[in-house]
């Protein structure tokens, strides 16, 4: 079993839709939960991070972490064609520890 599970999609939605992306994990030591966005032929870029459980909002993006269920989500409101990319969840425990990524979900937002 992988430490982080993420449905690879692809997910195709119309412009303006609300998108929900999810990951589950098995390692209870994870404390930091990140969402990276990766456009084709580019490196991942950080969208948001959450420490421990709770919600975090940044513009059209909301990240949620439920440590009791080992489940994290990213919601995108009013999705735009420019949001079309692969979304990677990533996690780490404290200190200098490495990032553990999910497989990534490919999202396509069509006009």
Partner 1 sequence: DAGVTQSPTHLIKTRGQQVTLRCSPKSGHDTVSWYQQALGQGPQFIFQYYEEEERQRGNFPDRFSGHQFPNYSSELNVNALLLGDSALYLCASSRPGLAAPGAYNEQFFGPGTRLTVL
**Is there a contact between 90 and 101 (Cβ–Cβ < 8 Å)?**
yes
Check residue 99 for interaction with partner 1 (CB under 8 A).
yes
Check residue 47 for interaction with partner 1 (CB under 8 A).
no
**Is there a contact between 95 and 29 (Cβ–Cβ < 8 Å)?**
no
Q: Which is nearer to partner 1, 17 or 93 (CB)?
A: 93
Check residue 63 for interaction with partner 1 (CB under 8 A).
no
State how far the Cα of 85 lies from the Cα of 47, in Å rounded to an integer. 12
Q: Which is nearer to partner 1, 17 or 100 (CB)?
A: 100
In the beta sheet, which residues pair with residue 12? Answer: 108
Check residue 84 for interaction with partner 1 (CB under 8 A).
no
48: DSSP letter: E
Check residue 101 for interaction with partner 1 (CB under 8 A).
yes
């Amino acid at each position: 079993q992988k430490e982080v599970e993420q449905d690879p999609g692809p997910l195709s939605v119309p412009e303006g839709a609300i998108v929900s992306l999810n990951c589950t994990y098995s390692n209870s030591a994870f404390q930091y939960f990140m969402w990276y966005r990766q456009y084709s032929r580019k490196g991942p870029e950080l969208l948001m991070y959450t420490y421990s459980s709770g919600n975090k909002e940044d513009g059209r993006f909301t990240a949620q972490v439920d440590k009791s269920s080992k489940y994290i989500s990213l919601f995108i409101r009013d999705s735009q064609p420019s949001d079309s990319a692969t979304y990677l969840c990533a996690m780490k425990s404290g200190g200098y520890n490495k990032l553990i990524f999910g497989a990534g979900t490919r999202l396509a937002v069509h006009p």
